[in-house]
Amino acid sequence: MLLALALAALFVASDARAQEAPAGTPGGDANLARVGDEFITQAQYLRELGFKVRQATLRTGKPFQPDARFRKETFEAMVQARILSILARNAHIEVPEENVNEEFARRRALIPTEEAFQDYLKQEGLTKETLLEEIRRRMIVEAYVEDVSKDLKVAPEEIETQYKQWDSRGLTKRKKVTYDIGLILIRPATMDEAGWSSAELIVNDARHRIQEGEKFTEVAKELSSDLSAAERGGIFEETFGAEFLPEINEKITTLDPGTLSEPFKSEVGWHLVQVISRNEPGVIPFDKVAPRLESFLLEQKQTELLRQKVAEAQAYVDIEVFKADNLPEPPPTDLPVQDSQ
């Protein structure tokens, strides 16, 4: 959880080191905390919180209201992200500038026009330079995490033990039909006709690439707007279908296994669905669960390792929290949503 939250916080963090403390006290209205020489401003926090709310809304098509606990976890993840950034800097981790520019170009290609791109930067309180810096920071921290956790392993017996634990809790029992699917979401960069048309072009190109032999998972990692799903190649295993928007559920439950859908539109964007398999009720076999268990256990170890490093760093990194209570709520999302009933 620490890893996922902290890296997500870095994804939308602007160049905190470039932020100067506002006039007056360090804990003025603009600042929520200081971690080393980096400030967490209220604007950054609201942008991060809004990003998380939009992602939750995109996944379900229903309004998502962050409670006090969710807001606090978001803030704490931002503090942890700043600490990881400092640790990466102290470890002299670098990434080739070419890689940073390639990632910037990939993101820029998802926005249809230069005017729309400038509107996006203005809306997010960014410039091209600060966007490049946030991409660089995230990639550096990812490289640091990969470096410090490269020797972590999960033994076969650990996977077997975890499977037995899940089995004893009934987590390996499939009580009704489920589906393994791949899902790609292309959200319009802008909600006007140009934005929707650009998103349609992207989803059509994605389908063509998959039909021509590219792996669904690789295309999803590159293009999907649902970032949490994109990290695992857009794959959802053992889903009932009803967790998704009605348009997606209809494709999941009617397409034959192995079929890639035509692009289709919902209120939140354009979609592609690939039904990998239809699973009848019964016990989920060990061989199917084992890769997921290995990833689960490895992430646990990685999270614990990073938690230890963050805790150790807190002993010497100067952290000053100005406002941890009554954290502000995000503004209403501009995404259209399904009726919550």
Beta strands in 69-193, from DSSP E residues, in sequence order: 173-174, 178-186
- 182, amino acid identity: G
Q: Which regions of the chain are under pLDDT 70?
A: 1-29, 58-61, 112, 324-326, 328, 330-341
Residue with tokens 């949490």: 228
Q: What is the pLDDT of residue 19?
A: 42
Cα–Cα distance between 76 and 232 in angstroms, integer?
25
Do 338 and 248 form a contact (C-beta atoms < 8 A)? no
Q: What is the DSSP letter of 260?
A: B
CA distances (Å), origin 89, targets 20, 36, 140, 144, 280: 20, 12, 8, 9, 50
Percent of the chain with pLDDT over 90: 50
- 297, amino acid identity: L
Q: For the chain, give every residue range classified as CATH 3.10.50.40.
A: 173-283
Collapsed DSSP state (helix, strand, coil) of residue 219: helix
Q: What is the pLDDT of residue 59?
A: 65
The CB density around residue 302, as the number of other CB atoms within 10 Å, is: 17
Fold classified for 2-151+296-321: Triger factor/SurA peptide-binding fold (1.10.4030)
Beta bridge partners of 34: 39, 320
Q: What is the DSSP letter of 272?
A: E
Out of 3.10.50.40, 3.40.1080.10, 3.30.360.10, 1.10.268.10, select the CATH number for domain 173-283: 3.10.50.40
Q: What is the pLDDT of residue 99?
A: 94
Distance from chain centroid for Cα 168: 31
Q: pLDDT per residue over 190-239, tens digit each? A: 777 888 888 999 999 999 999 999 999 999 999 998 888 888 899 999 99
Distance from chain centroid for Cα 158: 27
Q: For the chain, give every residue range classified as CATH 1.10.4030.10.
A: 2-151+296-321
